[in-house]
Amino acid sequence: MTVVVLALDALDAGLVEHFNLDEFRLESSGPIETFAYSKDDPYTPEVWTTVATGVGPEEHGVTGAGTSEWGNPLLEFASKFTGRLSESTRGTLGRFIRNTTNQRETIGRTDRQTAFDRDNAVVRNWPGVTDGRDLQQAWDLMNAVAEGMSKQEFERKLLCLCAEQFGWAREILHHDVSLAGVHVHTLDAAGHAYADDPESLERVYRRVGAFVAELVTELSEEDELLLLSDHGMSVNFLDADADADPATHSWRAYASATTDEIPESVYDVPAWIDRHLSATDGDVDDIDMPTERLRELGYIE
């Protein structure tokens, strides 16, 4: 069996309701708790590293205000002044630095143990865990559309990247893999670009929903799927966002799973993975067992 974790950046619980998208409503679904650390709103690399490790930024070390986000001394110096900038402003600054120094910003990687450090686990494009090249492509597209790239070209490139990531997840199901995780930045990039354009945003949500539906049809009886987000996206067409700036990250993180329960918060994902891998696998070697409790119950000495 394989447990697949789809990290759908910025999938917004309120927009799933607003657009009425059943593809995102698996057996269990609903809002989950997320957090903000170095900024006022949840920040992508901080939250996804927490999803993978189960610990906060102060422990996993990947933060928006810290030096680990940036890959060279000049960028580290610049980051002292940019810790509180929005993602798109930061992207513009990143491009400026790239053009003038011929180097680009990178996202730090945690040295903490992650849920993907186990036998037969694979992970692709996970902020704070892998190299993040796909994420940088999506960030570049987000900046390009803000600077005049056509909607057609933006959506084609963004959704072709999304299709590669979903295609990877589908192929994984044909291999001996215990846990597969992939981060997909499509809805965040589209949310920033289309926070005032409900028709276009709904079109992208429906394409991503269709990818989810395709993946679900490929799951075997034993496989499980968890999809979740790190935050949502404030838009100018939801009553709930009347006081929010459009295209800033909302607190409406969302999760949905083929199991009978979803994690309560972004901190609970490694425990959720442990529960659902052990439920069907019977392979508990590499899982952190509550030995005290088992001893009390008399299962071990």
- Give the footprint of Zn ion on this chain (CB under 5 A): 9, 44, 188, 230
Position with the least CB separation from Zn ion:
44
Q: Which is nearer to Zn ion, 180 or 233 (CB)?
A: 233
* Shortest distance, position 244 Cβ to Zn ion, whole Å: 16
Say which residues have a Cβ less than 8 Å from residue 126's Cβ, sequence separation at least 6: 7, 48, 52, 116, 181, 182, 183
* Shortest distance, position 46 Cβ to Zn ion, whole Å: 9
Q: Which is nearer to Zn ion, 105 or 188 (CB)?
A: 188
* Shortest distance, position 66 Cβ to Zn ion, whole Å: 17
Q: Which is nearer to Zn ion, 223 or 230 (CB)?
A: 230
Tokens in use for 286?
């590499």
Q: Which is nearer to Zn ion, 188 or 223 (CB)?
A: 188
Q: Which is nearer to Zn ion, 177 or 226 (CB)?
A: 226
Angle at 98 between CA 95 and CA 100, to 5 degrees: 110
* Shortest distance, position 184 Cβ to Zn ion, whole Å: 11
24-to-20, 61, 212, 278 alpha-carbon distances in Å: 9, 31, 7, 25
Q: Which is nearer to Zn ion, 105 or 224 (CB)?
A: 105
* Shortest distance, position 288 Cβ to Zn ion, whole Å: 27
How many angstroms separate the CA atoms of 252 and 31, rounded? 6
Contact 232, 241 (CB under 8 A): no
Q: Which is nearer to Zn ion, 69 or 188 (CB)?
A: 188
Q: Which is nearer to Zn ion, 161 or 277 (CB)?
A: 161
* Shortest distance, position 278 Cβ to Zn ion, whole Å: 29
Q: Residue written as tokens 């390009």?
A: 144
The residue ranges of DSSP E strands in 185-285, in sequence order, are: 224-228, 232-233, 249-250, 254-257
* Shortest distance, position 101 Cβ to Zn ion, whole Å: 26
Give the pairing of strands 28-31 and 254-257.
antiparallel
- Collapse the DSSP code of 265 into the 3-class scheme (helix H, G, I; strand E, B; otherwise coil) and give the result: strand
How many angstroms separate the CA atoms of 267 and 64, rounded? 18
How many angstroms separate the CA atoms of 241 and 235, rounded? 6
* Shortest distance, position 224 Cβ to Zn ion, whole Å: 23
Residue among 110, 81, 208, 204 nearest 151 (CA):
204
Contact 30, 247 (CB under 8 A): no
The identity of residue 137, as a single letter, is Q
The identity of residue 169, as a single letter, is A
